[in-house]
Each structure stands twice: as structure tokens, then as C-alpha cells.
């Protein structure tokens, strides 16, 4: 969840689930994204970063990282500036 939350354009993580199998693990993330940014690129970046970081930290075989955008959030101007400065 931490890796996904720190991705630009992610407002909040709704769910993070991990399923273990003999061959490795599958990770499922449900996220809220910020309106006005390319959702498909945000989701692709999350998939790549989670796969790399979790694989490195755990040395487990990552079978899949499934990311679903469940909600699009429209931020007020002040929130936009704050979130941009934090990323």
C-alpha cells in the first residue's frame, strides 16, 4: 500500500489484499485517483513499482499486481497545490 499511496495521482488506497500460492503471491489494490491525471499511466506505474519493491523486499515471486480505480476524486485548488508539493 505504501508504494501505491506515494504514486502521483493516487488519492487513497481503499483495499490491499495479498493471496499466497505455491508459485508466489498475487496483490490486489483498489485505489482512488485524482481527477485530471491519466489513470491508465497511474495504474501502470503502481503495478511496476509494487512488483519491483515487494519482490525486492520479500524475495517472493510476484505473480500479479491487479490495480482497480474505484473512485475519481476532484480536489479543490488548495488540495491540488499541497498534494503536488508533497510528491
The pLDDT of residue 46 is 94
Q: What is the CATH number of the domain that holds 24?
A: 3.30.70.1350
Residue 87 pLDDT? 47
- Non-local (6+) Cβ contacts of 66 within 8 A are 26, 27, 28, 29
Q: Is the pLDDT of residue 86 over 90?
A: no
pTM assigned to the model: 0.80
Q: What pLDDT shows up at residue 5?
A: 80
| Number of domains, the chain | 1
pLDDT in the model for residue 83: 52
pLDDT tens sequence across 14-73: 999 999 999 999 999 999 999 988 999 999 999 999 999 999 999 999 999 999 999 999
Q: Say which DSSP state 37 is in.
A: S
**Which domain, by its residues, includes 15?**
2-86
Q: Is 81 exposed, middle or buried (0-12, 13-18, 19+ CB in 10 A)?
A: exposed
**Measured between alpha carbons, how far is 1 from 31 in angstroms, rounded to an integer?**
10
Amino acid at each position: 500500500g505504501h508504494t501505491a499511496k506515494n504514486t502521483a495521482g493516487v488519492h487513497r488506497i481503499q483495499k490491499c489484499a495479498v493471496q499466497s500460492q505455491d508459485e508466489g503471491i498475487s496483490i490486489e489494490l483498489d485505489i482512488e485517483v485524482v481527477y485530471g491525471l491519466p489513470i491508465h499511466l497511474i495504474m501502470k506505474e503502481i503495478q511496476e513499482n509494487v512488483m519491483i519493491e515487494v519482490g525486492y523486499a520479500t524475495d517472493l515471486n510476484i505473480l500479479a499486481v491487479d490495480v482497480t480505480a474505484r473512485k475519481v476524486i476532484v480536489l479543490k485548488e488548495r488540495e491540488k497545490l499541497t498534494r503536488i508539493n508533497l510528491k
